[in-house]
Amino acid sequence: MQWTKRDMGVYVGSKEFIDTAIIPILPFQLSQESNLSKSTSKREVLSIFATEIEKELSGRVLLIPNYYYLEYGDKLEEAKRLNSWNEEIQKQPFEHVFILTFDSGWKRFEKDLQANLLWVPGFQADDPNSDEMRQMIRGQVSDVVELIRSYW
Amino acid sequence: MSEEKQQVSRRQFLNYTLTGVGGFMAAGMLAPMLRMAVDPVLKSTSSDGDFVNVGLAVEDITTTPQRVDWQIEQVDGWYESKPGRSAWVYKDDKGDIIALSPVCTHLGCVVSWEGNESHPNEFFCPCHDGRYTKDGVNVPGTPPLAPLATYEQKVENGILYLGKAISRKGA
């Protein structure tokens, strides 16, 4: 399910089946020009990644709208905000909340997060729509899907 | 000497010019009409545009379902996208090709062939343990209420082409 009018209509009707939420968190920065391509490709690939996971498990997973944070900002502050997102999500009967990121910096703050951190090693893509890239994303998606299923 | 050369009179010059311009205007009006009149003829050459080559040769299709993925071009308002499509393709006992949509009819997860060890020879939905037999019919007592959709298909030069997914009535 995605955060769209149509999907949320379905969600309200079959709440009991949808118990997992995924928040994709994406870094944003403009200060370090040399890292711009890295930051942007992270964003593009993670968006595709999240959508693909949602497609595989759409009947049980709600994909929360993207959460943006400053790449070089204070992660502790962001963790607090993420926890308030988590609390908001928990107002509905969600049993599992995952935070999806390519940013290894979050690993250190895992204990400060209430939700499960799903850190996936990122990869840079020149063209996220190329065939090799698609194969690679598909491979990783099925691994992450397995991981999520192990929580169910 | 130049006076002996045939001079174009003013009247003649205007006549030629007006005929020329008039001709252009008439052609400009008639050309779209003609184009529209012959349009159905031109269209028939690409009537199978809905079918997409999924990159699978017929001889590679076995009796075990295999997953194929492809993309279609889609224009949705001003938003053009290339959404992916998937299918489980296999040959049944009679040798006919079956292409099933992997989208679970319960809430839309993606089912996989033999996705659960305790249910061999069945499609399995990872979300709520929905099950389908090999022909895509839902197993009663599991969440799905309808069989998996089947794709329109055709074979050209030994290559499989798939079209729209057609949903089937509940079992």
Q: Give the separation between CA B129 and CA A76, rounded to whole angstroms.
A: 39
Q: B132 and B108, same structural domain?
A: yes
Q: Nearest Cα to B160, choosing from B57, B67, B86, B63?
A: B57
Q: B76 and B25, same structural domain?
A: no
Global pTM? 0.71
Q: B34 and B90, same structural domain?
A: no
A136 versus B12: the higher-pLDDT residue is B12
Give the range of the structural domain holding residue A54, as residue numbers without chain letter.
5-151
**Residue B171 in domain:** no
Query: Does the pLDDT of residue B48 top 70, yes or no?
Result: no
Q: Nearest Cα to B74, choosing from B60, B86, B85?
A: B85
Angstroms from B143 CA to nearest CA on chain A? 10
B100 versus A125: the higher-pLDDT residue is B100
Tell me the chain A residues in contact with residue B109 when contact means C-beta distances shorter than 8 Å.
56-60
Query: Does the pLDDT of residue B10 top 60, yes or no?
Result: yes
**Residue B141 in domain:** yes
> What is the longest distance spanned by two Cα atoms in chain A?
48
Give the range of the structural domain holding residue B110, as residue numbers without chain letter.
52-166
Residue A48: how many other CB atoms lie within 10 Å: 17
Q: Give the separation between CA A85 and CA A88, rounded to whole angstroms.
A: 5
Check A59 against B82: CB less than 8 A apart.
no
Q: B146 and B83, same structural domain?
A: yes
Check A59 against B69: CB less than 8 A apart.
no
Q: Name the percent of chain A lying above pLDDT 70.
A: 97
Angstroms from B109 CA to nearest CA on chain A? 5
Give the residue carrying structure tokens 């250190």. Answer: A108
Q: Give the separation between CA A87 and CA A82, rounded to whole angstroms.
A: 9
**Residue B154 in domain:** yes
Q: How many structural domains compose chain A?
A: 1
CB A22 within 8 A of CB A54: yes
Q: B57 and B33, same structural domain?
A: no
pLDDT for the residue B47: 41
Angstroms from B84 CA to nearest CA on chain A? 10
Query: Does the pLDDT of residue B86 top 50, yes or no?
Result: yes
pLDDT for the residue B60: 85
**pLDDT of A66-122, one tens digit each?**
999 998 888 899 999 999 999 999 888 888 999 999 888 888 888 888 888 988 887
> Buried b vs exposed e over B9-22: b needs ≥16 C-beta within 10 Å?
eeeeeeeeeeeeee
Q: B158 and B81, same structural domain?
A: yes
Of A59, A134, A138, the CB nearest to B109: A59
**One-letter identity of residue B29:** M
Give Cβ neighbours of residue B49 (< 8 Å, ≥ 6 apart). Answer: none
Q: Name the percent of chain B lying above pLDDT 90.
A: 13
H or E element at residue A143: helix A131-151
**pLDDT of B150-159, one tens digit each?**
888 888 888 8
Q: What does pLDDT average to over chain B?
A: 83
CB A17 within 8 A of CB B127: yes
Of A10, A58, A134, the CB nearest to B109: A58
**pLDDT of A33-45, one tens digit each?**
888 888 888 888 8
Cα end-to-end distance, chain B, whole Å: 100
User: Which residue of chain A comes nearest to B107, CA vs CA?
Assistant: A59
Helix/strand/coil for B109: coil
CATH number at residue B156: 2.102.10.10
pLDDT for the residue B19: 95
pLDDT for the residue B50: 76
Q: B37 and B56, same structural domain?
A: no
Q: B103 and B24, same structural domain?
A: no
> How many residue pairs bridge chain A and chain B with CB atoms within 8 Å of each other?
39
Q: B56 and B39, same structural domain?
A: no
Check B106 against A55: CB less than 8 A apart.
no
pLDDT for the residue B74: 72
**Confidence grade of residue B46 (pLDDT, cut at 50, 70, 90):** very low
Q: How many structural domains compose chain B?
A: 2
pLDDT for the residue B43: 61
Q: B57 and B133, same structural domain?
A: yes
- CA B21 from chain centre, in angstroms, equals 45
pLDDT for the residue B22: 95
Q: Chain A interface, mutation test: which of B67, B103, B110, B124, most A Cβ atoms within 10 Å? A: B110
Q: B26 and B75, same structural domain?
A: no
For the segment A51-63, the average pLDDT, to the nearest whole number, is 88
Residue B114: how many other CB atoms lie within 10 Å: 14
Q: Give the separation between CA B19 and CA B14, rounded to whole angstroms.
A: 8
CB A61 within 8 A of CB A20: yes
Of A10, A60, A145, the CB nearest to B128: A60
**pLDDT of A110-133, one tens digit each?**
888 888 898 888 776 667 667 777
For the segment A48-53, the average pLDDT, to the nearest whole number, is 87
**Residue B136 in domain:** yes
Q: Nearest Cα to B66, choosing from B160, B164, B167, B171?
A: B160
Query: Does the pLDDT of residue B79 top 50, yes or no?
Result: yes
Of A59, A129, A138, the CB nearest to B108: A59
Binding-site residues on chain B for chain A (CB distance < 8 A): 69, 82, 84, 104, 106-110, 125-128, 143
Query: Does the pLDDT of residue B1 top 70, yes or no?
Result: no
Query: Does the pLDDT of residue B26 top 80, yes or no?
Result: yes
Of A58, A145, A149, the CB nearest to B108: A58
Query: Does the pLDDT of residue A140 top 50, yes or no?
Result: yes
Q: Nearest Cα to A23, choosing from A127, A120, A98, A123?
A: A98
Angstroms from A28 CA to nearest CA on chain B? 25
Q: Name the percent of chain B lying above pLDDT 70.
A: 89
> Buried b vs exposed e over B115-125: b needs ≥16 C-beta within 10 Å?
beeeeeebbbb
Angstroms from A31 CA to nearest CA on chain B? 31
CATH number at residue A13: 3.40.50
Check B128 against A145: CB less than 8 A apart.
no
Q: Give the separation between CA B68 and CA B54, rounded to whole angstroms.
A: 7
Q: B88 and B131, same structural domain?
A: yes
Q: Nearest Cα to B69, choosing from B43, B101, B106, B92?
A: B101
pLDDT for the residue A40: 86
A86 versus B73: the higher-pLDDT residue is A86
pLDDT for the residue A30: 92
User: Going edge to edge, which strands form the sheet with B123-125?
Assistant: B112-113, B123-125, B130-132
φ, ψ of residue A50 to 5 degrees: the values are -65, -40
Ramachandran sector of residue B137 (left: φ over 0; alpha: ψ -120 to 50; beta: rest): beta
Least confident of A1-15, B63-77, B108-122: B63-77
